Amino acid sequence: MDFKFSTEEETFQNDVNGFLKQELPSDWTGETAYASSDDGWNFNLKMKKKLAEKGWLTLGWPKEYGGMEASIMSQVLFNEQMAYNRAPGIDIWGIKMLAPTLMVHGTEEQKQRFLPPVANGEVQWCQGYSEPGSGSDLASLQTRAEVDGDEYVVNGTKIWTSNGHRADWIILLARTDTDAPKHRGITMLLVDMKTPGISVNPIVNMAGMHEFNQVFFDNVRVPKRNLVGEENRGWYVGATLLDFERSGVQYSAEARRTIDDLVGFIKDNPSSNFDLSGREHLRNRLADMAIETEVSRMISYNIGFMQSQGFVPNKEASICKSFSTEMEQRVAETGMHILGLYGQLTSDSKWAPLRGRIERTFLRHHSATLASGTSEIQRNIIATRGLGLPRA
């Protein structure tokens, strides 16, 4: 692995930092970046448009689809800076999920219809995969799509749909053949969220934030032209991966920002309850967390480097996901130990250190080892595909 960035990559990193310093408020800490807040969402949309104007929304896309064909490491650096600054504006469902899928499996009409609005920051997508009874075993999904003339009629429910209450469109996996083996008989559809029969119920997480939703489909009619790929082959369509950056660098960037916030707060309050001069175990623990974030960062850089050399990270991506999300939890827990009882105060309290960010981070990261593939699933991948161990 080459640990030195190219001159072009360093220049680009400086450009991104300069842009964020200019566009983010001087007191920006990311509190209003979440979908829970209308003001935060509106700011997210403004940032998305500005990123689109610079071409940064679609850094990794081929030029023929409005992208910049930027190097993998440039994409890594961009995502790292965005995550560290808690900057809003990225629609990962449209940019990194929908777009690669359409580039491979979509019709020319679908590409012309759906890709430009994503590149221009004009639409928001969400993902309809998980169901109340289908999480890690996604292929057991039960949402049905039955053919009726030139349309599919969809009935069922999806859960944990991030930004479902904000989205314009949803990427939906539905079962179209109930007699086929569970990995077959699944079809991918693109569904307008304004279609009659769709209802969205909020799911407020234990940090008091509304990001997740449960989406219900009651006789929702979807035109056949919104079918992606072949009918009953949606499982394989959904597994499409292109050479866009998937290093997981956001984990280390977010954890590094949390540590920097903690260290800054401690330095600003040297003679308070948060003084660590006599708490060697916490100083050591904070140092350990700083080391772990750098380990996570190097794993992500290595994945980016592998991609840039034409390799497809498999076990490496699972190593990054499992190590980094567990590291995030340890960092948040360390923050709670340092702040003590003050760490339990929410942003509503004037006594809350760091505006309650540590409390919120601690609660949010409880699900980090579940979302996007549990740690158990990641370890299975490492064991079978990385170490060559037999399946249980």
3 state SS of 33: helix
Alpha-helical (H) ranges within 191-339 are: 234-238, 249-268, 280-308, 315-339
**d(C-alpha 91, C-alpha 112), whole Å:** 19
Catalytically active residues are 245
Six-digit token string for 223: 């035109």
Spell out the SS3 assignment of 327-379. Answer: HHHHHHHHHHHHHHHHHHCCCCCCCCHHHHHHHHHHHHHHHCCCCCCCHHHHH
**d(C-alpha 63, C-alpha 326), whole Å:** 37
Under 8 Å between Cβ of 39 and 46: no
Six-digit token string for 389: 């161990």
User: Distance between terminal CA atoms of the chain?
Assistant: 34
**d(C-alpha 49, C-alpha 88), whole Å:** 11
Six-digit token string for 192: 């307008």
